[in-house]
């Protein structure tokens, strides 16, 4: 009999420099700052949010087990400073595909945080969701994000889902990844 082992999502994770954990209501000021700042929102598919919308974001992502979405807050391991968020959404179990996303506060741009968190997101999608396809939709002018995911084997493909935005789709298929080799770093 072929049985799929269902693993529980980790409530928190660590990378070299970051602690990743589920969002909490006491994160409201930083989540609001993150998603209402016009410079930050330049590459988001949503307009800047209100304080109430930031609270709704946190509520939406609480208790993600068994849902089609997950969002972690990313915090500096030493001083607890908020760095950004990362996670997945649009999990399609029939197609075994999932969209990942991340946002790094502008003070931390181009400091390697996306490259540090991507292996964790990829591992969660392949191990916990048993995804065969991971994709990211990004603004075509977001060159830093495109370069970051390319390092992990993501390639430009037609969109994996319909959107109203003019976004670039970057895809990583399990069979094309270095994941099966036990290392995600190229």
**pLDDT score of 65:** 79
**pLDDT score of 67:** 84
Q: In the sheet that 18-22 helps form, which strands lie side by side, from edge to edge?
A: 12-14, 18-22, 70-76, 82-92, 97-104, 133-138, 168-173, 155-157
Question: What are the mean pLDDT values of the chain's consecutive 10-residue runs (186 residues total)?
Answer: 52 92 94 89 78 92 85 95 95 95 93 94 92 93 91 92 84 80 40
**pLDDT score of 176:** 83
**pLDDT score of 186:** 35
Contact 73, 18 (CB under 8 A): no
**pLDDT score of 182:** 42
**pLDDT score of 110:** 92
Contact 23, 122 (CB under 8 A): no
| Calpha distance 146→125 (Å, rounded) | 19
| Whether the model pTM is above 0.75 | yes
Question: How far apart, in Å, are the Cα atoms of 117 and each of 3, 80, 185?
Answer: 30, 16, 11
**pLDDT score of 7:** 59
Report domain extents, the chain: 12-181
User: In degrees, to the nearest 5, what angle opens at C-alpha 14 toward C-alphas 138 and 117?
Assistant: 15
Question: How far apart, in Å, are the Cα atoms of 107 and each of 11, 21, 86?
Answer: 26, 20, 16
Contact 136, 169 (CB under 8 A): yes
Contact 38, 134 (CB under 8 A): no
**pLDDT score of 179:** 58
Homologous superfamily of the 12-181 domain (CATH): Gcn5-related N-acetyltransferase (GNAT) (3.40.630.30)
Tell me which DSSP letter residue 106 carries.
G
């Amino acid at each position: 009999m072929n049985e799929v082992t269902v693993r529980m999502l980790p409530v928190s994770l660590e990378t070299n420099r970051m602690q990743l954990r589920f969002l909490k209501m006491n994160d409201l000021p930083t989540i609001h700052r993150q998603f209402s700042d016009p410079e930050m929102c330049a590459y988001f598919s949503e307009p800047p949010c209100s304080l109430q919308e930031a609270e709704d974001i946190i509520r939406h992502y609480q208790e993600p087990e068994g849902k089609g979405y997950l969002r972690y807050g990313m915090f500096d391991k030493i001083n607890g400073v908020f760095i950004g968020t990362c996670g997945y959404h649009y999990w399609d179990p029939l197609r075994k595909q999932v969209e990942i996303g991340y946002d790094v506060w502008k003070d931390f741009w181009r400091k390697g945080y996306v490259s540090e968190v991507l292996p964790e997101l990829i591992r969660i999608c392949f191990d916990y969701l048993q995804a065969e396809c991971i994709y990211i939709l990004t603004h075509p002018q977001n060159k830093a994000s495109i370069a970051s995911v390319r390092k992990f084997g993501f390639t430009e493909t037609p969109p994996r889902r319909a959107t109203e935005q003019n976004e670039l789709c970057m895809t990583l298929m399990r069979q094309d990844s270095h994941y099966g080799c036990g290392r995600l770093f190229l």
